[in-house]
């Protein structure tokens, strides 16, 4: 209903913008003696809003269906079918252009830049999977995300990754997420989109460097289960944390665990955890000491992070176009570079002053100084926290899918004898 | 009766439920705030013709094999010249439509005679690769009626436009979908 | 699902995977360039205008006198010289007189933006606005004022002989010939096959005229790259000039944009686009170059501007003093450069 006033405001703004432009004397085209009329250029419109509603509807349906398949139907086969559908729809048909992972950048920019209003479709693509994860676990990763689907279908010879390596590599995702948020918040770049490793396949085009990344990731994904999801994906990382407190979750067995150990090697993503044995009594004092040491060390980790982050801020700031331009122009002004490039040529022809350019670059740099320090401190906290959580004894009585690590692919179901019995019972 | 798993310890459960409710509330609030701010506005990428320097990156950096950027003609600004510097190479043998005289490497500009001494130039969009060669020629010597625009029937509206990243003059910007073009003769 | 792999084999595989990961990282780091500094566009898709901007130094027979003179105009549009040799520059909504050192002497406010100025033989200043002509006496008082016969007109150049005032009208694509009272006596240059007049082609707002000692008016036909000579009766006597990016031709779609007559009867022409000021003799034979892109400050073929008019301003106006020195007004940067005949080049020519 509030559409009309909005349109009129847009129209008014448009008129205000064009009135001064029209008052400028533009030299008219010739007046023809023949009745030739001067054409106007066509302006083909963008993809209609209807398609966007379809995108959101498909996302919601896929998430619901995935949650049902994972938790109620417990069928790996149908999960694969849905996964392939998502791969085709969100991947090849929509060319990875509407993507929850990339939406992190938009959401961040919308928070930090008051001039940027996030499109509602993007917002829903960011929040709907989070909401579903809060209720049903990572069903998005299971069968809706096209990037996850690519990796899942090529996983042929999974290698086991030792837990310490898994934990360490996951820190990469924290780093990636932090850098992505920092660069998006400063309006520098949407790195998650820029380095998307599978979008090249969806579009059948990319620059050579991205092709190399894409193919390497694909080859690695043959041997390492979902390497992007586990060790890099920033959105997966957020979903992991939400998954920890989800209302429902994947259970390997539909009812009870009989400790048959058949599922032990079932998970290619290392997300099945064995029941724990009690620590020997002698372990406790050591464990406690370690815990206390680590808690004391936590501020040190954070401080080190802040220091390193701050020290690295010039490198990070160099991703901002204004800083890039200022650096280049400075090098040309000081005679290091004798030739101008397109970027500096454009600057010189714009008539802007050097002082203005340097001042705005400095302003961006100071934003980065603060942002990088916060980022470094956060990463310090993450590293310290990771060490801490691995020094705490978690008690488990049965074989469990790890709440955070499980991507709900459904592979383990068929390994469980209780599941097979449950299937048989269901048929009868 | 419930099993006594560590998950079901009363304090753990309390903590978990509290966190869960908190997370749900936070998600809802964040979504609502951002949605209110967004006011369902949608943006698309466009080139500001006043900032474009015709560097040619539009032809090579688009994620599509055939760039979404094409040359557009603001006819109302055109001088309808016989010797069009966006159509002819700098030193044409003669002012004819022979391929050797044409500036456009893909022959994407159509020259039609209107009346003495005027000619009309039209872009054959399927042939245009968006390199901006004619745009440079037209702007350097002529009225600047040829300019580059993102064609929204082709653009997939990437989250981060790859050409925008490579644009040396920061001519790419997000514009509201209601006014998706920045026409020079508007 | 998960196959048991022998120890060695899995070691090899792990190594391979690691190698791929590291290799990809390194390759991507080396290859990835989003800064746009390196263009991958094949050369046939690039318009290299710079190569046409280079001028053989031996052809440059003038040299700049002193530094460019800064004016305080936002948009200067025309320059002329008074009898004392001072510069009068028109722009914004005013006229400003400068001495040769660039010091403003006096200033006259105008009711609207001027587009062209010229002194008549009595030392009165004729000012052209879009469709109004004003004649100011040497003290700056308005002596006469009249409007163009058509409501819509754009006077881009003005000239006067003893009995007439000529106004070049870019919109109507002709030259109005007025008597001194402002009555239209004649129209020059309009398309007329019966009189063998092909018509003036004006693709952009540049259309210059100049009086000449032989009594014929010189009219630039920019779209055809000609300088035409008209009698006050409107007969087209002859023309010279041709299109070409080579140094002897007029480049682009519509050049020259400005014309002035030297004391020896030669012509000074200014071109936009490929910015260059050149000298031709009375018959239209190329003599030499006054200044090229390097001397005038090369203007990028496509500039980054904030407003459309900023993008459009790229023309020059030229004026000549009694000693044959050439004054070039850069209407983009609002500066004046003065050039005089290069002594060594003159000596070389004499030999």
Residues from chain A contacting residue B140 (CB–CB below 8 Å): none
Looking at the predicted structure, is the pLDDT value of residue B5 above 60?
no
Q: How far apart are the first and last CA of chain B?
A: 75
Q: Of A119, A320, A361, which to mutate for an interface test with B (greatest number of B Cβ within 10 Å)?
A: A119
- Residue B107 to chain A, least CA–CA distance (Å): 19
* A33 within a domain of the structure (yes/no): no
Chain A to chain B, count of Cβ pairs less than 8 Å apart?
A: 173
One domain, residues A167 and A255: yes
Of A10, A21, A106, the CB nearest to B178: A10
* Interchain proximity C308–B54, CB inside 8 Å: no
Q: How far apart are alpha carbons A384 and B22 in whole angstroms?
A: 24
Q: How far apart are the first and last CA of chain C?
A: 96
Mean pLDDT value of segment A24-32: 75
Residues from chain C contacting residue A345 (CB–CB below 8 Å): 300
One domain, residues B80 and B162: yes
pLDDT value at position A240?
Answer: 94
* Interchain proximity A212–C203, CB inside 8 Å: no
One domain, residues A260 and A405: yes
Residues A104-132: tens digit of each pLDDT: 999 999 899 887 878 888 889 999 999 99
Looking at the predicted structure, is the pLDDT value of residue C105 above 70?
yes
pLDDT value at position C9?
Answer: 67
Task: Give yes or no for a contact between A402 and A272, defined as CB atoms under 8 angstroms apart.
Answer: yes
Count up the domains in chain B and report the number: 2
* Cα angle: B80, vertex B82, B88; to 5 degrees: 105
One domain, residues B32 and B72: no
For chain B, say whether C244 makes contact (Cβ under 8 Å).
Answer: yes
Residues from chain C contacting residue A346 (CB–CB below 8 Å): 300, 304
Mean pLDDT value of segment A331-336: 92
Task: Give yes or no for a contact between B175 and B182, defined as CB atoms under 8 angstroms apart.
Answer: yes
One domain, residues A374 and A252: no
* B51 within a domain of the structure (yes/no): yes
One domain, residues B23 and B74: no
A96-100, A173-177, C128-132, range with the lowest pLDDT: A96-100
* Interchain proximity C303–A268, CB inside 8 Å: no
Q: How far apart are alpha carbons C317 and C116 in whole angstroms?
A: 10
pLDDT band at residue B67 under the 50/70/90 scheme: very high
Mean pLDDT value of segment B20-42: 83
* Interchain proximity A97–B158, CB inside 8 Å: yes
Mean pLDDT value of segment A311-339: 92
Q: Which domains does chain C possess?
A: 3-350 (2.120.10.30)
* B185 within a domain of the structure (yes/no): no
* A172 within a domain of the structure (yes/no): yes
One domain, residues B48 and B13: no
One domain, residues A404 and A361: no
* B186 within a domain of the structure (yes/no): no
One domain, residues B34 and B63: no
pLDDT band at residue B63 under the 50/70/90 scheme: confident
* Interchain proximity B160–A194, CB inside 8 Å: yes
Residues C251-307: tens digit of each pLDDT: 988 899 999 999 999 999 999 888 899 999 999 999 999 999 889 887 666 777 777
- Residue C312 to chain A, least CA–CA distance (Å): 9
* Interchain proximity C252–B140, CB inside 8 Å: yes
One domain, residues A313 and A423: no
Q: How far apart are alpha carbons A232 and A222 in whole angstroms?
A: 16
One domain, residues A212 and A296: no
Q: Nearest-CA neighbor of A96 among A37, A146, A166, A39?
A: A146
pLDDT value at position C279?
Answer: 96
* Interchain proximity A127–B79, CB inside 8 Å: no
Q: Of C22, C35, C199, C308, which to mutate for an interface test with A (greatest number of A Cβ within 10 Å)?
A: C35
Question: Collapsing DSSP states into helix, strand and coil, what is residue A54?
Answer: helix
* A56 within a domain of the structure (yes/no): yes
One domain, residues B162 and B74: yes
pLDDT value at position A117?
Answer: 79
Residues from chain C contacting residue A26 (CB–CB below 8 Å): 308
* A231 within a domain of the structure (yes/no): yes
Give me the residues of B, 8-27, that contact A with CB < 8 A: 16, 19-20, 23-24, 27
Residues from chain B contacting residue C312 (CB–CB below 8 Å): 144
Tokens matching residue B164: 């925008």
Instruction: Please give, one letter per residue, the 3-state secondary structure of chain C.
Output: CCCCCCHHHHHHHHHHHHHHHHHHHHHHHHHCCCCCCCCCCCHHHCCCCHHHHCCCHHHECEEEEEEEEECCCCCEEEEEECCCCCEEEEECCEEEEECCCCCEEEEEECCCCEEEEEECCCCCEEEEECCEEEEECCCCCEEEEEECCCCCCCEEEEEECCCEEEEEECCCCEEEEEECCCCEEEEECCCEHHHCECCCCCCCCCCCEECCCCCCEEEEEHHHCEEEEECCCCCEEEEECCECCCCCCECCCCCCCEEEECCCCCEEEEECCCCEEEEECCCCCEEEEEECHHHHCCCCCCCCCCCHHHHHCCCEEEEECCCCCEEEEECCCCEEEEEEECHHHHHHHHC
Mean pLDDT value of segment A22-48: 79
One domain, residues B15 and B88: no
For chain C, say whether B51 makes contact (Cβ under 8 Å).
Answer: yes
pLDDT value at position C338?
Answer: 95
* B3 within a domain of the structure (yes/no): no
- Residue C274 to chain A, least CA–CA distance (Å): 16
pLDDT value at position C345?
Answer: 64
Q: How far apart are alpha carbons A128 and B31 in whole angstroms?
A: 10
Looking at the predicted structure, is the pLDDT value of residue B130 above 90?
yes
Give me the residues of C, 112-151, that contact A with CB < 8 A: 130
Q: What percent of chain B has pLDDT over 70?
A: 93
* A36 within a domain of the structure (yes/no): no
Q: Nearest-CA neighbor of C96 among A59, C161, C82?
A: C82
For chain C, say whether A331 makes contact (Cβ under 8 Å).
Answer: no
Of C39, C300, C308, the CB nearest to B56: C39
Range of the domain at B132: 44-176
Cis peptide before C256 (omega within 30 of 0): yes
* A257 within a domain of the structure (yes/no): yes
pLDDT value at position C38?
Answer: 64
- Residue A27 to chain B, least CA–CA distance (Å): 7
Q: What percent of chain C has pLDDT over 90?
A: 62
One domain, residues A111 and A259: yes
One domain, residues A246 and A118: yes
Angle between helices A103-112 and B10-38 in degrees, nearest 10: 70
For chain B, say whether C130 makes contact (Cβ under 8 Å).
Answer: no
* B2 within a domain of the structure (yes/no): no
Mean pLDDT value of segment B161-176: 90
* A25 within a domain of the structure (yes/no): no
One domain, residues A381 and A360: yes
Q: Which residue of B has its CA nearest to A324?
A: B168
Count up the domains in chain A and report the number: 2
* B36 within a domain of the structure (yes/no): yes
Q: Which residue of B has its CA nearest to C247?
A: B91
Give me the residues of A, 369-428, that contact B with CB < 8 A: 394-398
Give me the residues of B, 9-48, that contact C with CB < 8 A: none
B24-28, C91-95, C191-195, C345-349, range with the lowest pLDDT: C345-349
What backbone phi and psi angles, to 5 degrees, belong to A118? -80, 135
One domain, residues B32 and B70: no
Q: How far apart are alpha carbons A406 and C171 in whole angstroms?
A: 75
Range of the domain at A330: 283-389
Other beta carbons within 10 angstroms of residue C114's beta carbon come to 26
* A265 within a domain of the structure (yes/no): yes
For chain C, say whether B90 makes contact (Cβ under 8 Å).
Answer: yes
One domain, residues B70 and B150: yes
Q: How far apart are alpha carbons A108 and A182 in whole angstroms?
A: 9
One domain, residues A262 and A154: yes
Average pLDDT, chain B: 88
One domain, residues B103 and B23: no
* B125 within a domain of the structure (yes/no): yes
Looking at the predicted structure, is the pLDDT value of residue A7 above 80?
no
Residues from chain B contacting residue A242 (CB–CB below 8 Å): 23
One domain, residues A156 and A265: yes
Q: Residue A164: which residues within 8 A CB-CB, separation 6 or more? A: none
Residues A246-299: tens digit of each pLDDT: 999 899 999 888 988 899 889 999 899 888 877 777 778 888 888 899 999 999
Other chains touching C, judged by 3 or more CB pairs under 8 Å: A, B
pLDDT band at residue B114 under the 50/70/90 scheme: very high
Q: What ipTM describes this predicted complex?
A: 0.82
One domain, residues B103 and B172: yes
Q: Nearest-CA neighbor of A65 among A86, A82, A89?
A: A82
Tokens matching residue C105: 């002497």
Give me the residues of B, 137-176, that contact A with CB < 8 A: 143, 151-153, 155-160, 162, 165, 168-170, 174, 176
One domain, residues A206 and A122: yes
Q: Nearest-CA neighbor of A94 among A120, A118, A122?
A: A122
Q: Which residue of A has its CA nearest to B66?
A: A205
pLDDT value at position A103?
Answer: 92
Q: Nearest-CA neighbor of A409 among A92, A146, A148, A126?
A: A148
With 0-12 / 13-18 / 19 or more C-beta atoms within 10 angstroms meaning exposed / middle / buried, residue B134 is buried
Of B60, B129, B142, the CB nearest to C252: B142
One domain, residues B99 and B144: yes
Looking at the predicted structure, is the pLDDT value of residue A57 above 80?
yes
């Amino acid at each position: 209903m509030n559409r009309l006033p909005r349109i009129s405001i847009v129209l008014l703004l448009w008129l205000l913008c064009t009135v001064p432009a029209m008052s400028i004397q533009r030299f008219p085209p010739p007046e023809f003696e023949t009745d030739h009329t001067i054409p106007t250029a066509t302006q083909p419109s963008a993809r209609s809003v209807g398609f966007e509603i379809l995108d959101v509807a498909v996302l919601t349906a896929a998430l619901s269906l995935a949650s049902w398949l994972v938790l109620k139907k417990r069928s790996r086969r149908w999960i694969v079918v849905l996964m392939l559908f998502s791969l085709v729809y969100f991947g090849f048909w929509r060319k990875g252009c509407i993507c929850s992972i990339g939406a992190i950048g938009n959401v961040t920019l919308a928070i930090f830049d008051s001039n940027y209003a996030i499109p509602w479709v993007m917002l829903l693509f960011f929040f709907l999977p989070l909401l579903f994860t809060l209720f049903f676990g990572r069903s998005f990763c299971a069968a809706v995300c096209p990037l996850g689907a690519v990796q899942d279908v090529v996983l042929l010879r999974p290698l086991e990754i030792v837990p310490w390596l898994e934990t360490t590599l996951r820190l990469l995702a924290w780093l990636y997420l932090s850098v992505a948020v920092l660069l998006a918040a400063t309006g520098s770049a949407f790195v998650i989109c820029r380095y998307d490793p599978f979008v090249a396949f969806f579009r059948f085009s990319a620059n050579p460097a991205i092709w190399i990344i894409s193919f390497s990731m694909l080859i690695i994904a043959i041997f390492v289960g979902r390497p992007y999801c586990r060790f890099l994906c920033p959105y997966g990382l957020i979903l992991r944390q939400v998954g920890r407190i989800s209302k429902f979750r994947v259970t390997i067995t539909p009812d009870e665990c009989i400790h048959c150990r058949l599922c032990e090697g079932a998970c290619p993503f290392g997300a099945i955890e064995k029941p724990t044995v009690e620590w020997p009594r002698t372990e406790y004092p050591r464990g406690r000491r370690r815990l206390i040491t680590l808690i004391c060390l936590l501020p040190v980790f954070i401080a080190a992070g802040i220091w390193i982050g701050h020290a690295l801020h010039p490198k990070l700031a160099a991703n901002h176009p204004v800083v890039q331009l200022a650096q280049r122009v400075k090098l040309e002004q000081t005679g290091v570079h004798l030739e101008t490039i397109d970027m500096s040529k454009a600057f010189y022809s714009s008539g802007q002053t050097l002082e203005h350019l340097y001042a705005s670059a400095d302003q961006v740099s100071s934003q980065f100084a603060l942002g990088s320090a916060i980022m470094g401190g956060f990463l310090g906290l993450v590293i310290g926290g990771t060490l801490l959580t691995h020094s705490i004894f978690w008690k488990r009585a049965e074989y469990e899918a790890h709440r955070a690590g499980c991507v709900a692919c459904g592979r383990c179901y068929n390994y469980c004898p209780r599941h097979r019995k449950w299937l048989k019972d269901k048929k009868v | 009766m419930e099993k006594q798993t560590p998950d079901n310890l009363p304090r753990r459960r309390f903590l978990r439920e509290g966190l869960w409710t908190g997370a749900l509330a936070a998600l809802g609030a964040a979504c609502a705030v951002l949605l209110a701010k967004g006011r369902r506005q949608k943006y698309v990428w466009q080139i500001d013709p006043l900032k474009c320097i015709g560097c040619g990156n539009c032809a090579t950096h688009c994620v599509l094999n055939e760039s979404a950027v094409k040359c557009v003609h603001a006819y109302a600004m055109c001088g309808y010249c016989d010797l069009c510097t966006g159509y002819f190479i700098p030193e044409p043998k003669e002012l004819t439509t022979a391929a050797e005289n044409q500036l456009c490497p893909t022959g994407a500009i159509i020259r039609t005679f209107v009346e003495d001494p005027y000619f009309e130039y039209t872009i054959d969009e399927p042939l245009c690769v968006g390199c901006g060669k004619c745009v440079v020629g037209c702007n350097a010597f002529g009225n600047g009626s040829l300019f580059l625009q993102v064609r929204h029937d082709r653009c997939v509206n990437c989250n981060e436009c790859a050409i925008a990243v490579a644009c040396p003059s920061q001519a790419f910007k997000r514009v509201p979908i209601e006014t998706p073009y920045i026409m020079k003769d508007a | 699902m998960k196959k048991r792999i022998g120890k060695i084999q899995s070691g090899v595989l792990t190594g391979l995977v690691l190698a791929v990961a590291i290799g990809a990282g390194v390759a991507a780091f080396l290859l990835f360039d989003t800064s746009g500094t390196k263009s991958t566009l094949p050369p046939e898709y690039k318009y290299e205008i710079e190569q046409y901007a280079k001028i053989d130094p031996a052809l440059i027979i003038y040299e700049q006198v002193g530094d460019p003179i800064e004016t305080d105009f936002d948009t200067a549009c025309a320059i002329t010289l008074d009898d004392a040799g001072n510069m009068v520059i028109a722009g914004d909504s005013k006229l400003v007189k400068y001495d040769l050192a660039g010091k403003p002497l006096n200033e006259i406010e105008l009711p609207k933006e001027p587009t062209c100025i010229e002194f008549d033989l009595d030392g009165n200043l004729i000012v052209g606005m879009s469709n109004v002509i004003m004649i100011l006496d040497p003290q700056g008082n308005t002596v006469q004022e009249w409007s163009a016969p058509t409501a819509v007109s754009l006077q881009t150049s003005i000239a006067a002989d003893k009995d007439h005032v000529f106004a070049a009208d870019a919109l109507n694509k002709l030259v109005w010939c007025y008597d001194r009272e402002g009555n239209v006596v004649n129209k020059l240059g309009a398309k007329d096959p019966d009189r063998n007049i092909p018509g003036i082609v004006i693709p952009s707002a540049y259309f210059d005229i100049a009086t000449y000692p032989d009594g014929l008016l010189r009219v630039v036909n920019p779209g055809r790259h000609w300088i035409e000579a008209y009698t006050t009766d409107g007969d087209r006597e002859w023309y010279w000039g041709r299109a070409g990016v080579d140094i002897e031709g007029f480049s682009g779609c519509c050049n020259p944009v400005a014309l002035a007559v030297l004391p020896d009867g030669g012509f000074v022409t200014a071109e936009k686009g490929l910015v260059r000021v050149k000298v031709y003799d009375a018959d239209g034979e190329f003599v030499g170059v006054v200044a090229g892109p390097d001397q005038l400050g090369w203007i990028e073929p496509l500039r980054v501007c904030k407003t459309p008019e900023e993008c459009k301003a790229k023309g020059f106006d030229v004026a000549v003093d009694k000693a044959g020195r050439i004054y070039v007004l850069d209407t983009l940067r609002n500066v004046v450069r003065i050039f005089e005949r290069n002594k060594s080049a003159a000596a070389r020519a004499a030999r």
